[in-house]
Chains A and B, each alone.
Chain A
Amino acid sequence: MIRKSLLVSFLSLLTFVGMLSAQESKLYTATVFGIHSDGVTDNTTSIQKAIDFIHEKGGGTLVFYVGRYLTGSVELKSNVTIRMASGAVLVGSPLTYDYKGVGGQTALIYAKDQENIGVEGKGVLEGSGLAIQADIAKQVAKGYVKNASEYTPTLVLFENCRNITMKQFTSQNSAVTAQIYKGCENMTFDNIYVFNKDPKTAAVSFSGCKNITAKDCYFDTPVNALVSDGTSSGLSFSKCIVPSGKEIKVEK
């Protein structure tokens, strides 16, 4: 009897591990990695572990269900998509040193030289912009930080990445321009919402990027929604509007 139940639990364990590794859709639930939705647990290392694990297993989607997930910087890796399901919020830490990045810019989610990556779902990336700026200001005042801009995080920072899909999610309250893309190729933006009220920041910035398609986006930002320095090519924006109803115009 005992042996039988042991066998059963062993089998179910196998099934579970099988589900983790061999499922066709390759969906990974955040909870499994010990990522907590309670709004207070620091999930930085747990989310990073999840991304690394999925990346090493050949890729898949890390799914966050409804809840608030506090975190510092995480590095996105090839073939991993973050899905913020409806009601799920990735909440940026309010602490200066919780952020890392590339090229002198920090970010909540950053990636360099990766491909087939993205963020999707009806959830939210929350920048905690006012709180993080206040903390950085304190560090500047103490003399521990010289250049505030080196520490002020954006929400998404991708550098030299390819095949990027960003859809449906909302970015809000970023301390600087909400999403920054440098030297990236083949990017799709679909139904992206950006809300930045305080501090006064832009929505999306491109430099040296190629082949950008954006549609049905809504950018509610106090300064110009789009920042582009003219070094990008192949931009196609359709039905991307600001609160006044105007469509965003891009260089050809």
Chain B
Amino acid sequence: MIKGLKLGIIMCLLQGMLFSVSAKDYYITDFGAKADGVTVNTRIIQRAVDFVSENGGGRIIFTPGGFVTGTFYLKSNVTLHLEGGASLLGSNNPWDYVIDPKIKWCSMIFAVNQTNIGITGKGTINGRGYVTANNLVQYIHRGLFKDAMKLDRPYEGNRPMNIYFRECTNVTVQDITLKDPASWNQTYDQCKNVLVEREIVDSKSYWNNDGIDIIDCEDVVIRDCFIDAADDVYCFKSHSADHGCKNVLLENCVGRSSANGVKFGTVSRGFFKDFKIRNITMYDTFRSAITFAAVDGADIENIEVDGVRAYNTGNVIFLRMGRRWDKGKEPSMKNILIKNVYAEVPAGKPDEGYSYEGPVEDQPRNISPASIIGIPGYRIQNVKMENMEIVSCGGGNPRYAYRGLAPADLDGIPEMIAHYPEFSQFKELPAWGFYIRHADGITFENVKFIAEKEDYRPSIVSDDVNGLNLKNVKFEEPNSDKKEQVFTYKTQNVVIE
């Protein structure tokens, strides 16, 4: 696994070096582009990309100013270089964008089946998606564009993202700032050898503003990024049952989200394998700091998370199996190591005041615990948590919401096998620290759970678990001297040291 990672990194570096040596520079203004914030430069940029690609490749340089554009396609051996102060501004006219006939999604910058492409420089790509999305809504109401307007918004695939690269090899995205698309920010779909580094994403302009989406990619490095997004931040997906995400390094990254921090899923059909995630910080996160979901038949395997700081996050860890759209493919999740974690879960809403705040839902419930929840027949296997400290607000009040420890209570927790997975989906859960169900081989080592206020629930509840090892696990809760903090139900092979 490590070997593959190294290889990927070397390839990325090599590719970057090759680029800087051979690249010829072209200025977009020489093609007639205007940085006046008004002229729609789509056709000029497309012409420039085509010309540079046909003439041996190189960098297209955007000098400071605002270049308005609609959809264009990046081609092999072309790098867009946005100088500091240069902005690619998304046109506010929805008709200026293309829904790619093959991909069926909409984007400002597409690349399909290209090699050696990139976007670099300290400039900005600003989708200006709020206005574009609202303009699209008007056209839908006029009957000019077909959309079901589910949740009173256009389908996310009909709204332009900033970047969508599909089946591309050797992709480099460096230093740029991404802002405010009408849908997701950047999608890398079935790409190989992807490097995203030193990127800033500031994106709270409309629904579904994901930070970065890696779909079915192999050999991916994401590092030194800062992402503040309305929806999921570092999001890995698998849209194809035959593909998956493999050999991924995510390191030294910071995120803020009104959804999840690091996420596998929601669409999770193929696999997620050989991940190394290290030194990440998540703050003001409405949902989970880390969530791995295998709900559409995915195999999740060999994942190492080392070094997580999560401040003011709604939930720390959520591992979840399910059977939503798997068409018979059977899901699995195993060999997961999560270590060196410090997390604080507040009583209030972590993303309060941000634009496009997450929706308050699944009430009534007291503060939800971290959880590992498989389904009958599909168990989450071999998860180890090491060196963790989780500070929770505690304070669970049974008169507000209650889930007791009696068999009827615990069996009454719904399985929700075909549901959209979210840490809060079960409403009230019977633990304040960790809830584990349908799992094998769960280990906690050097873990401390702290509740700031007295809670009616124990810290850890296990249900249908085979193999639960607690080594040096400590609990702090006010007025709880004689309280039993670990409650097991239908659990075998429990070792507490």
Q: Which residues of A contact B (CB under 8 A)?
A: 13, 16-17, 20-21, 32-34, 40-42, 44-46, 48-49, 53, 72, 95-98, 135, 138-139, 142, 144
Contact = CB atoms under 8 A, between A and B. Distances in A.
A21 B47 CA distance: 37
6 contacts: A13-B141, A17-B143, A33-B139, A42-B40, A98-B43, A144-B51
A24 B70 CA distance: 35
B171 to A, nearest CB: 26
Nearest to A42: B40
A21 B143 CA distance: 9
Contact of A40 (B31, B38, B47, B144): B38
A34 B43 contact: no
A98 B69 CA distance: 12
Contacts of B139: 33-34
Contact of B95 (A32, A34, A95, A98): A34
Contacts of B141: 13
Interface string B425-451: 000000000000000000000000000
Contacts of B138: 34
Contacts of B40: 42, 44
A110 B395 CA distance: 71
Nearest to B142: A32
A241 to B, nearest CB: 39
Given A42-B40, A44-B40, A49-B144, A97 B93 contact: no
Nearest to B68: A42
Given A20-B142, A96-B32, A139-B32, A34 B135 contact: yes
B95 A97 contact: no
Contacts of A13: 141
Given A49-B95, A139-B32, A95 B44 contact: yes
Nearest to B39: A42
Given A44-B40, A139-B32, A97 B143 contact: no
A16 B142 CA distance: 8
B96 to A, nearest CB: 5
Residue from A16, A45, A96 whose CB has the most chain B CB atoms within 10 Å: A45
A49 B93 CA distance: 11
A44 B138 CA distance: 19
A144 B144 contact: no
Contacts of B70: 45
B46 interface: yes
Contact of A135 (B32, B47, B51): B32
Contacts of A72: 43
Given A46-B93, A139-B32, A97 B47 contact: yes
A97 B144 contact: no
A21 B142 CA distance: 11
A175 to B, nearest CB: 15
Contacts of A40: 38
A46 B96 CA distance: 8
B30 interface: yes
A45 B96 contact: yes
Nearest to B70: A45
Contacts of A41: 93
A13 B144 CA distance: 13
B497 to A, nearest CB: 64
Contacts of B39: 42, 95
Contacts of A138: 32
A62 to B, nearest CB: 13
Residue from B44, B95, B138 whose CB has the most chain A CB atoms within 10 Å: B95
Contacts of B48: 144
B142 A144 contact: no
Contact of B32 (A20, A44, A95): A95
Nearest to A14: B143
A110 to B, nearest CB: 15
Interface in B65-113: 70, 93-96
Q: 5 tightest A-B contacts by CB?
A: A45-B95, A42-B40, A97-B47, A97-B43, A17-B143
Contacts of A139: 31-32
A32 B138 CA distance: 10
A82 B494 CA distance: 79
Nearest to B47: A97
Given A45-B93, A46-B95, 5 more contacts: A33-B95, A42-B40, A45-B70, A98-B44, A139-B32
Contact of A97 (B32, B94, B142): B32
